[in-house]
Structure 1
Amino acid sequence: MSYDNTCKYLAENYPAEFARWLLSSDTSDIEVLKTELNLEPIRADAVTFLQISNQILHLEFQTSPKSTPPLDFRMLDYYTRLKRQYWCDIEQVLIFLQATSSEIVFNTQYVDRKTRHEYRVIRLWEEDPTPLLANPALLPLATLARTDSPQDLLEQVAAAVDMIEERDERQNISACVQVLAGLRFPKNLITQLFREEVMQESVIYQDILQKGLQQGEQRGLQKGEVAVILRLLIRRFGAIEPEIQQQIQSLSITQLDELAEALLDFSSPSDLLNYLVNISPAQPNQ
Structure 2
Amino acid sequence: MFDNVCKFLAEQFSPDFTRWLLGKPITLTQLSPTELSLEPIRADSLILLQSENMVLHLEFQTKPNPDIPFRMIDYRCRVYRRFPKKSMRQVVIYLCQSDSPLVHQNTFSIPRTRHEFEVIRLWEQPTGAFLGSPGLLPFAALSKTSDRFQTLQQTAQLIDNIANQRVQSNVAASTAIIAGLVLERDLINRLLRRDIMRESVIYQEMEQEILQKVNQEVRQEFRQEVRQELRQMLLRQLTRRLGNLTPELTEGVQKLPIEQLEALGEALLDFNELEELVSWLEQYN
Tell me whether the two structures share a fold, i.e. TM-score over 0.5.
yes
1:73 equivalent to 2:70? Answer: yes
The superposition leaves residues 73-126 of structure 1 with CA deviations (integer Å, 9 ceiling, x where unpaired) of 112222211221222211111111111112211111112222221111111111
Contact in 2 for aligned 1:140/1:178 (Cα 8 Å): yes
**Distance in 2 between residues matched to 1:78 and 1:215, nearest whole Å:** 33
**Distance in 1 between residues matched to 2:5 and 2:115, nearest whole Å:** 28
Say which of 124, 130, 133 aligns to 2:122: 124
Aligned residue number for residue 13 of structure 1: 12
**Distance in 1 between residues matched to 2:162 and 2:190, nearest whole Å:** 19
Contact in 2 for aligned 1:76/1:117 (Cα 8 Å): yes
| CA shift for structure 1 position 26 | 2.8
Listed as ranges, the matches of 1:85-124 within 5 Å are 85-87=82-84, 88-124=86-122
| Distance change (3 Å), C-alpha of 1:229 and 1:41 | farther
Q: Which deviates more, 120-129 or 73-82?
A: 73-82
* Structure 2 stretches lacking a partner, 5+ long: 236-247, 264-279
Letter paired with 2:44: D
Q: Give me the identity figure in percent.
A: 37
Contact in 2 for aligned 1:175/1:205 (Cα 8 Å): yes
Number of equivalenced pairs: 247
Q: Which deviates more, 213-222 or 131-140?
A: 213-222
Aligned residue number for residue 32 of structure 1: 30
| Distance change (3 Å), C-alpha of 1:65 and 1:54 | same
Listed as ranges, the matches of 1:1-286 within 5 Å are 1=1, 3-28=2-27, 30-36=28-34, 39=38, 42-66=41-65, 70-87=67-84, 88-218=86-216, 239=251
Q: Which deviates more, 76-85 or 40-49?
A: 40-49
**Distance in 1 between residues matched to 2:213 and 2:77, nearest whole Å:** 33
The superposition leaves residues 184-221 of structure 1 with CA deviations (integer Å, 9 ceiling, x where unpaired) of 11112111111122212221100122223334445556
**Distance in 1 between residues matched to 2:214 and 2:116, nearest whole Å:** 40
Letter paired with 1:65: P
* Structure 1 stretches lacking a partner, 5+ long: 246-255, 273-286
**Distance in 2 between residues matched to 1:56 and 1:91, nearest whole Å:** 6
Contact in 1 for aligned 2:137/2:171 (Cα 8 Å): yes
The superposition leaves residues 139-185 of structure 1 with CA deviations (integer Å, 9 ceiling, x where unpaired) of 00112100122222111111111111112211111111111111111
Aligned residue for 1:42, secondary structure, equals: coil
**Distance in 1 between residues matched to 2:226 and 2:108, nearest whole Å:** 48
| Distance change (3 Å), C-alpha of 1:219 and 1:93 | farther
| CA shift for structure 1 position 34 | 2.3
| CA shift for structure 1 position 60 | 1.3
Contact in 1 for aligned 2:124/2:144 (Cα 8 Å): yes
Aligned residue number for residue 282 of structure 1: none
Aligned residue for 1:20, secondary structure, equals: helix
Aligned residue number for residue 249 of structure 1: none
Contact in 1 for aligned 2:11/2:29 (Cα 8 Å): no
**Distance in 1 between residues matched to 2:40 and 2:166, nearest whole Å:** 37
| Distance change (3 Å), C-alpha of 1:228 and 1:94 | farther
Letter paired with 1:9: F
CA RMSD of aligned residues (A): 3.3
| CA shift for structure 1 position 135 | 0.8
Aligned residue for 1:143, secondary structure, equals: helix
